[in-house]
Structure 1
Amino acid sequence: MSRLRRAEDMMGTMIAIDLADPLPEATLAALADDFFSWMREVDRRFSTYKPDSEVCRLHRGELPPAQWSDHLREVLDACARLWRDTDGYFDVYATGPLDPSGYVKGWAAEVASARLVAGGSTNHFINAGGDVRVRGCPAPGERWHIPIRHPWQHDGAYLVVAGNDLAIATSGTYERGFHVVNPRTGEPAQALRSVTVVGPDLAVADAYATAGVAMSMAGLPWLAALPGYEVAVVTEDGQGFRSPGLPEVPASIFTAPAG
């Protein structure tokens, strides 16, 4: 029996997996192979850079609805629901062409986690470019610890989330600049430097984090009231907010504002 860790560069980021199950080495390797095969398939279908992806073909008018894959249909249906749930702030057309990237990476990792469970892995850690899905434990009786990148220090964390069955998604401006567009104004959102959403589903958490950045300061009450999800927010001027149920290790430099 052995543990397996593996990482590959894809989707324009690093995708990593940690399988902590007491399974034979060959079984763990097969699970990891299936995981990365699935993530590569998602990249082929949903890339906004690969000319032959379904997303690019749909944008060029070359893919009628009758030819949509089940996965494409599922993602577009989910994005439409999230557009309604976020009052239009999660918008896959915010920058013009169809771009479901704010949902797809989290969705791919969430589906991958379910596939791992079905294959016998109930203790694993998936990191899809900073969006994390954990199940079970790294060792008996322990919790997974997930550091959230510090908004200004590239090699540090400003808080650590801990748990055994969690999804953690972060959207912000500290790495790619002001890339999240407010769909109501058409302008890049600039008020929130980091929005982390923690809850049961990584695809939804990923979309909520993107919507929160797009809403800017006006979105703080909406983020704080998300049913079933906890949040941590850092503003561009260095203020911080955390919802009281955030499952964190006491290591944060920020505290929730009084009142």
Structure 2
Amino acid sequence: MGEPARKAVPLPPLPDGRGRSLRPDAVRAVRDRVMGTEVLAAGLTPADAAAVLGWLREVERVFTRFAPDSDTRRVSAAHGRPVRVAPMFTEVLAAACDLQRRTGGIFDPFLGADMVELGYDRDFPEISVGTVPETADGPPGPAAPAAPRVEIDHDRRLVALSPGLAVDLGGFVKGWSVQQAADGLRRRGVRRGLIDAGGDLVAWRSPGDPPWRIGVAHPLRATPADTLALAGTAAVATSSVTRRTWRDRAGRAAHHVLDPRTRRPAESDCLQATVLATDLATAEVAATCLVVLGTRTGPRLVAELDPAAAWLTIDRDGRVRRSSGLDDYRAEAPPNDDAT
């Protein structure tokens, strides 16, 4: 992959918070549906929250797999021809390719055709509860080129892929865009906020502010697996095989976390993984790798990817495991329990 020097992504169009203390009535929580999930912006002024949602909608427009005019669809359907894309597309794709290399391919941003083949070819709420239709409107079926080609020209904003490759940046671009929004607000002096996109979030606060509290749902129990009072600034990402499930074209159970080695839904012992880090896109990748590799080998890759990351996993028996670094992200000591 040949790449010229990268250009910086333009900052999200977020207003200047000016670092002022805000009256309680000037701050509220705003919810909306963006990127196929519910987004919560909390602790922000209405103007800041609206700007965050506007930014996320623009990212969705560029990266969605479900609109024929998105950069993702145009690049995937170009049969190897260079396609002019938005500046953010080259930046995000290059970052994803770097993490693909660093994870030895366990994170793969080119599983779009495999997702379509499994029937995930439209926004998830539109997928039937039963078996998906035999035809799909999307990129061609998966192909495995002997030497996949990914060419990114940042200066001319061009991307070319080998025929058969189809981009799916999914949770990675969601994490990247939420992190960009949070970083933009913090640089503008906004001292406290939380942006949560379907359970993947960035939260920050001033030292004197009360901590943000989040619950980690347990996929097999009604009670949470953990409750975290977050210390300082934290990015939290969760990957689960129990959330987005459907029946594939053969009638088999499917979910959206694919194992690049089999190009099928992951089948490790890990049902769900939550990762805490300082960057949400990296946390997204780490959580995915834990689900793909399982609770035995996954933690080693996470430690190599980000030594400061912490994690919590839940296996198929419902057992909760926590990394030793999890308490570094807590503002308060956890209650005693027997889950570890």
Provide the secondary structure at the position in 2 that maps to 1:19: strand
Correspondence for 1:23: none
TM-score normalised over the length of structure 1: 0.87
Residue 261 of structure 2 corresponds to: 184
Amino acid at match of 1:115: G
Describe how 1:96-175 pairs up with structure 2 within 5 A: 96=142, 97-136=166-205, 140-153=208-221, 156-161=223-228, 162-175=230-243
1:169/1:206 contact within 8 Å kept: yes
TM-score, with structure 2 as normaliser: 0.67
Superposition deviation, residue 48 in structure 1: 0.8
1:95-126 alpha-carbon deviations (Å, 9 max, x no partner):
34310013111001000101212333120011
Secondary structure of 1:16's counterpart equals strand
User: 2:220–2:318: 8 Å Cα contact kept in structure 1?
Assistant: no
* Max Rg structure: 2
Counterparts of 2:184 and 2:79, CA distance in 1 = 31
**1:221 paired to 2:300:** yes
User: Is 1:210 the equivalent of 2:277?
Assistant: no
Identity percentage over the alignment? Answer: 30
**What is the CA distance between 1:255 and its match in structure 2?**
4.0
CA distance in 2, matches of 1:82, 1:254: 35
- Unaligned segments of structure 1, at least 5 residues: 21-27
1:73 aligns to what? 90
Task: Confirm whether residue 232 of structure 1 aligns to residue 300 of structure 2.
Answer: no
Counterpart of 1:24 in structure 2 is none
Q: Give how far 1:216 is off.
A: 2.5
Deviation at 1:253, TM superposition (A): 5.3
- Letter matched to residue 226 of structure 2: L
- Hey, what's the Cα distance between the residues in 2 that align with 1:30 and 1:56? 32
Q: Which amino acid aligns with 1:242?
A: R
- Encode CA deviations 1:183-236: one digit per residue, 9 max, x unaligned: 112221122111111010011101111122122243233335641100111111
Distance 1:117 1:235 in 2: 36
Structure 1 partner of 2:17: none
| Paired residues of 2:275 and 2:312 also in contact (CA < 8 A) | yes
What amino acid does structure 1 have at the position aligned with 2:196? N
CA offsets 1:24-72 (integer angstroms, 9 cap, x no match): xxxx222122111101001100111122111011111189546121100
Gaps of 5+ in 2: 1-22, 115-141, 143-165, 246-254
1:27-46 to 2 correspondence within 5 Å?
A: 28-46=45-63
Who is 1:85 aligned against? 102
Question: Which residue of structure 1 aligns with residue 37 of structure 2?
Answer: 13
Aligned equivalents of 1:205, 1:79: Cα separation in 2: 13
Counterpart amino acid of 2:289? A
Structure with more helix by fraction: 1
Matches of 2:205 and 2:81 in 1, distance apart?
42
Q: Contact between 1:152 and 1:174, CA under 8 Å: does it hold in 2?
A: no
Does residue 200 (structure 1) correspond to residue 278 (structure 2)? The answer is yes
What is the alpha-carbon root mean square deviation over aligned residues? 2.2
The residue identity in structure 1 corresponding to 2:33 is D
Give, in whole Å, the separation in 2 of the partners of 1:57 and 1:12.
Answer: 20
The aligned amino acid for 2:90 is R
Q: Is residue 28 of structure 2 the alignment partner of residue 4 of structure 1?
A: yes
Is the 8 Å Cα contact of residues 14 and 129 (structure 1) preserved in structure 2? yes
Contact 1:233 1:241 in 2 (8 A): yes
Q: If each structure's strand is expressed as a fraction of its own residues, which one has the higher value?
A: 1
Q: Is the 8 A contact 1:239 1:254 kept in 2?
A: no
Match status 1:250 vs 2:274 = no
Output the amino acid matched with 1:241: R
